[in-house]
Structure 1
Amino acid sequence: MSRLPRSLRSRITAAVAVLVTVVVALAGLVIVVRIDHRDRTDVDRQLAARVEKGDQDAEKLLDQSGHPDGGDSGDSGDSGDSGDSGDDYGGLLAGSQSLVRLISGGKVVAQHGETPTAPLPPPTRDGYRTVDAGGQTWRSLTRPLDTGGYRLEVLQDIDPIERRLADNTAIVAAVTLFAALATAGGVWLLTRIILQPLERLRTGALAISADTAGPQLPAAERPQEVADLSRALNSMLDQLRTSMESTRRFTADAGHELRTPLTSIGVTLETLQRNPDLPTSQRAKALEAMNAEHRRITALLTGLQTLARGDAHALPERTRVVVGELLDTAVAQAARRHPTTTYELTADASTPVQVDGWPVGLRLAVDNLLDNAALHGRPGGAVEVRLTRDAGTVRIGVGDDGPGIPADQRHAMTERFTRGTRTRSPGSGLGLALVDQQARLHHGTLHLGRSPAGGLEATLALPAAEGEERQGEPTRD
């Protein structure tokens, strides 16, 4: 593989040149073989036609040789003039480099026609054969005669056919070489034009910097493959820029959120150090404030870690989750965390509602909804939790009786580190962002609306587990 050309242009040129060479060479060889086969078939046909007149030729050969009893071949070796117009042997012998021989007892007793440059051995069997002698190639056909015990052999010099085969082969080789060179040159020039869009993409990619919002790669219209690649790369760049901007904003917001509690803890520690004789009550208040800030930092870091894992899709295997049982446990613990808030859970217990997902992620989403409702609702108020099912969708609704969120701000509340203008309680602004992320990871949605009590109602819609749809459908008689 290391011997292959490195550039795409060279590889395309080499591949096309090799392909054209093979195709032209094979096509030329097929033509040459067909022509040669036709020539040799024509010779065999002429020999067969001549042998059909074997008895007449034998009588003429014996009369001309003067040895009707089958004299020595040397005495009959005087061949007639192949150009003599009085030749009785017709077109086969007249100027056609042909030869007719009469064989008896393994010896040539008479012959007429072209004189070979070297003696030709008598045939040992009947039928066709090819003989090489003295640099000449002869095609021969031998058959026995009906009378006299003679065998008649008709020969044709096929050196012209051999030369034609060699000439045609040389022409095919020359044409193949020319076609390969012409193709390589043409493809080398054409690929320069064809690959120009890719070269523009490469130049554009070198000009892109991670610190700037542009430029994008140049858009290509033709060819279609390069146009698709250009669009795909530009889409990838847009996603990377969006992700980078989100990461930068996320980092900046996280630093800002962490700076406030850390600064507060630092101020409190400095106060305690400068005032070792601080009254016990004031020291207790300072320590409680530090504990509160510590809990805030811990909650913030936990939320950031959860969001990061969700963004990286570092998730365990999906399992079957019974939503009713998860809600019962979550509501009971939320009531202990917020003893002044009343939680009311309404669910259809006739059929267990199940979803496929991650119990920890779903529990995190539900806990955030329950805590948000208690924190942003009316002090000492009530939170209504409803579990419903509609065809193949499971809905978990959590509504409070607080001031709610204006309709034009609801979508923004799912962004990270975003807090409403009407909120009165502390928080990191990650609660609804975590719920929205879990909804998307479970192929569901989070909808924010107005609750019947006038506050915020958050509805988490999730696809039911496989088989739940049929279980929830009413039976028919």
Structure 2
Amino acid sequence: MRLPLPRSLRSQITASVALLVVLVVGVAGLVIVDRIDHRDRTDVDRQLTARATKVQEDADKLLSTGDGADRVGSDDYGGLLAGSQSLVRLISGNEIVAQRGDQLTVDIPVPTSDGLSTIRAGGQTWRSLVQPVEDTGSERLQVLQDLGPIEQRLADNTRIVAGVAVLSMLFTAGGVWLITRVVLQPLQRLRTGAQRIRPADTHQELPTVTRPQEVADLSASLNRMLGQLQTSMHATRRFTADAGHELRTPLTTIGMNLETLQRNPHLPAVQRQEALDAMVVEHHRITTLLEGLQILARGDAGALPPRATVDLPALLDEAVRHAQHRHPTTTYSLSLAAGSAPRVQGWPAGLRLAVDNLLNNAALHGRQPHGQVHASLVWDSSLAHLSVTDDGPGIPADQREAVKERFARGRRPRSQGSGLGLALVQQQAELHGGTLTLGDAVGGGLQATLAIPLRQAAPSSARVTPPTHAAHSRRG
């Protein structure tokens, strides 16, 4: 059967400490009492032996004096006075032939064996020592001592220990109850702060606690968790809002085309094909948009895979080769600085996504047709600079920051993109602790530079997440 425990931590600590104190004090007190009682009983045995030795020296005198009742006041045998709670008896066979000392109110049976023993008679306890009389050999000497005072002392000491244990428990419980009020105050602050948090709060945070260290660590951990939950909630809300806003137009277009095809079963083949082609375009736009929004939402929520070592030159070389296949009318070129290849600690799929979007934007917004796109990679001791330039009209300086926002397409967009391309690159730059800079290319056009801080290379055994299919979004 489980004992009911107090519900509050304060009560549990108080009860636990109080119980521990009463156990420690009680056990320690009982051990001391037991040692005292053992010492007292040992002293009694020693006194009995000393008295028996003294009486043995002149046993005939005990026979001549007989019962000590008529010799009150004499002390020839070591304090055997009436009222001394001690008694000496001379036994012959099974009869008591003489005794001296305290007057008995009960009959103590004649001992059947020699040595030390404890006798209970009439509610009294006596310690007895029986020895043969050396001079006669046929008689035995019995020395008795009343153990009543010793047992009373044992009972008194036990009550004292019990009282001290109870008082210690009460005082300890009161002290711990007051101390835990102060010690647990930081936890109470956290509890009060948690009760004030509401789902609608956008900047919910628990009070900052500096001590004790355990509560301070708990406060920091909970605040980090709340921050992550807020980020995730914000990302979810933003994804929902962006998807609802951006999907309305393509879904409406698809619905109108479907309704047109349904109402006009005999629509000419040319017009039917135009409607189908329009729906395919809108479907591709929806797919690209959702893929980009999902990637942005995962980045906003911090749902990222473990970091791995990324070989930037190899990643850029592969990305350029794939971009050439996607845009066969655009000429891509790549230049790498001399020296050991830089490696960064990051997310290979995210970096590949950023590079793919820069290469796609350069092809779509460069000179049409037969544009020229150049990618380069240089580095120093702290940063790797990955640049992509095109030969298009570029972006005016006053619009460069705006086109990094989601769904930004510029004032005169040259392609029907989702407006997420540069937003995805900007997010990856921030996630990797870098920057995205838009500027003018040397020969005209736009130069987009992604600067990534270099990190110490991870061990060669680190697993690198393979690149996933990138969303080919376009800037404005």
For structure 1, the residue ranges without an aligned partner over 5 or more in a row are: 66-77, 470-477
The question of 1:121 aligning with 2:99 is answered no
The question of 1:257 aligning with 2:258 is answered no
Query: Under a length normalisation based on structure 2, what TM-score does the superposition of the two structures give?
Result: 0.73
Structure 2 equivalent of residue 23 of structure 1: 24
Q: Which amino acid aligns with 1:337?
A: R
Structure 2 equivalent of residue 32 of structure 1: 33
Higher deviation after alignment, 349-358 or 153-162: 349-358
Over aligned residues, Cα RMSD in angstroms?
A: 4.6
Structure 2 equivalent of residue 71 of structure 1: none
Deviations 1:47-92 (A, max 9, x none): 2333442432424223324xxxxxxxxxxxx23358x322212335
The question of 1:337 aligning with 2:326 is answered yes
How far residue 399 of structure 1 moved from its aligned partner, in angstroms, is 1.6
Q: 1:108 touches 1:122 (CA, 8 Å); kept in 2?
A: no
For CA contacts below 8 A with separation 6 or more, give which structure has more relative contact order: 2
Deviations 1:103-154 (A, max 9, x none): 556765433212332223325133x322212221112334455543255432
Structure 2 equivalent of residue 457 of structure 1: 449
The residue correspondences of 1:70-469 to structure 2 (distance < 5 A) are 78-80=67-69, 84-91=72-79, 93=81, 95-103=83-91, 108-116=96-104, 117-122=106-111, 124-126=113-115, 128-144=116-132, 146-149=134-137, 151-180=140-169, 184=173, 198=187, 201-213=190-202, 217=206, 229=218, 232-234=221-223, 236-265=225-254, 288-308=277-297, 326-347=315-336, 363-379=352-368, 380-386=370-376, 395=384, 397-401=386-390, 403=394, 416-417=406-407, 424-435=414-425, 444-449=432-437, 453=442, 455-460=447-452, 463=455, 464-467=457-460
How far residue 335 of structure 1 moved from its aligned partner, in angstroms, is 0.9
How far residue 161 of structure 1 moved from its aligned partner, in angstroms, is 1.0
Q: Which amino acid aligns with 1:155?
A: L
Q: 1:221 touches 1:227 (CA, 8 Å); kept in 2?
A: yes
Query: Under a length normalisation based on structure 1, what TM-score does the superposition of the two structures give?
Result: 0.73
How far residue 170 of structure 1 moved from its aligned partner, in angstroms, is 2.9
Structure 2 equivalent of residue 60 of structure 1: 61
How far residue 247 of structure 1 moved from its aligned partner, in angstroms, is 3.1
Q: Distance in 1 between matches of 2:3 and 2:128?
A: 55
Q: Distance in 1 between matches of 2:125 and 2:318?
A: 105
Higher deviation after alignment, 148-157 or 258-267: 258-267
Q: Which amino acid aligns with 2:22?
A: T
Q: Distance in 2 between matches of 1:219 and 1:445?
A: 27
Structure 2 equivalent of residue 41 of structure 1: 42
Structure 1 equivalent of residue 465 of structure 2: none
Q: Which amino acid aligns with 2:154?
A: L
Distance verdict in 2 for CA 1:448–1:355, change over 3 Å: closer
For structure 2, the residue ranges without an aligned partner over 5 or more in a row are: 463-476
Structure 2 equivalent of residue 4 of structure 1: 5
